[in-house]
Homo-oligomer: A and B are copies of this chain.
Amino acid sequence: MLSIETLRKEIEEGIAGFKFKREPIGLYDPIEYSMSLGGKRLRPVMCLAACSLFTDNYRQAMPAALALEMFHNFTLLHDDVMDNADIRRNQPTVKAKYGVNTAILSGDEMLIEAYKLLALTDSPAFSLVLSTFSQTATEVCEGQQYDMEFETRTDVTLAQYLEMIRLKTAVLLAGAIKIGALIGGGNAHDIEALYNYSIDLGLAFQLQDDLLDTFGDEKTFGKAIGGDIMENKKTYLLISALENADADQKKELLRWIGDTNAQRDAKVKAVRDLYEATGARKATEAKMEALYSKAMETLREMNISAEGKRFFADFGNMLLKRNR
């Protein structure tokens, strides 16, 4: 099997081949800019990898892989408008660089471009590929909607949080892998197992991201620690802490949440200590481990080649052990 690095190079070449130097440049330039900002290209890489489990002609999945990356970047353009975010991957967002209207309209065009790329798929499974893509896209929108609603809600449960991150984060990776496997000609049983594997891995990844945002090392995490705490984001950590806190701890936690003028270092440290004291950190780590183990268990029980299993296990380890 090919390496992640080789597949990533092929994806980068595919993206470099896009022709966005056309009129109106005000519409297409921001698309080129967005696609050139990089990132790990995990979804398209794993789409190709999943395809290669079932056929040597894994490049059959290239248009769909590029469609998934285009879709992912479309969501970033619109999310950055909705979240009023000016910086992403250490670069100005499209919204910051070109304005809100451009981020909306160029984002719309990216969603259409994603469907155009997908339509280049030459496969007997095209109809299933198309419905999987659309269903995934809908779920990502649902996830973003829940994420926004949770900002103003105080009664979010752990189950609701997990469902939100499943929709907002996990389904796109899982959808990418499923689409690759469909194009490769995988059987329904293997495809379902791969999908479940990816969902659990995606959830574990998001929990790791939550942990790193609070307990990580600024240098390796790539952004300032404590962002979620400062925004009172209803993460697994915060929900666990509120559920497990005793009366005093709860009072203190709610006081920090309500304190809109809190000094950053003080609030981050205090809330972090509460996450330790209430066992929220341990609970989040345990949930992450359980999801990771479940994913690996699903992988072990699949009927794919040993080489394929190793590739997907390595991917899971890369995704989840990056800071350990």
As for how many copies of this chain the complex holds, the number is 2
A104 CB–B CB distance under 8 Å: yes
- Whether B26 pairs with A144 at a CB distance below 8 angstroms is no
Q: Which of B108, B119, B131, B148 contacts A111 (CB 8 A)?
A: B108
Stretch with Cβ within 8 A of B (4 or more), from A36-44, A134-142, A224-232, A316-324: A134-142
Docked CA distance A122–B22 (Å): 34
Count of chain A residues with Cβ under 8 Å from any Cβ of B?
A: 32
User: Of residues 109 to 157 in A, which have CB atoms within 8 Å of B's CB atoms?
Assistant: 109, 111-113, 115-116, 119, 127, 130-131, 134, 137-138, 141-142, 144-146, 148-149
- Whether B131 pairs with A112 at a CB distance below 8 angstroms is no
Residues in chain B near residue A17, CB distance under 8 A: none
Q: Is the interface of A mostly helix, strand, loop or mixed?
A: helix
Decide: A26 near B134, CB < 8 A? Known: A105-B78, A119-B127: no
- Whether A145 pairs with B27 at a CB distance below 8 angstroms is yes
A101 CB–B CB distance under 8 Å: yes
Decide: A119 near B141, CB < 8 A? Known: A24-B149, A26-B149, A108-B78: no
- Whether A148 pairs with B101 at a CB distance below 8 angstroms is yes
- Whether B127 pairs with A141 at a CB distance below 8 angstroms is no
A1 CB–B CB distance under 8 Å: no
A82 CB–B CB distance under 8 Å: yes
Residues in chain B near residue A23, CB distance under 8 A: 142
Docked CA distance A40–B101 (Å): 27
Decide: A105 near B145, CB < 8 A? Known: A112-B137, A127-B119: yes
The digit string for A57-93, where 1 denotes a CB below 8 A from any CB of B, is 0000000000000000000001001100000000000
Decide: A130 near B119, CB < 8 A? Known: A145-B27, A146-B24: yes
Mark A residues whose CB is within 8 Å of B. Answer: 23-24, 26-27, 78, 81-82, 101, 104-105, 107-109, 111-113, 115-116, 119, 127, 130-131, 134, 137-138, 141-142, 144-146, 148-149
Known: A26-B145, A108-B141, A113-B138. 8 other contacts (CB 8 A): A24-B149, A105-B141, A105-B145, A108-B111, A109-B138, A112-B138, A115-B130, A116-B138
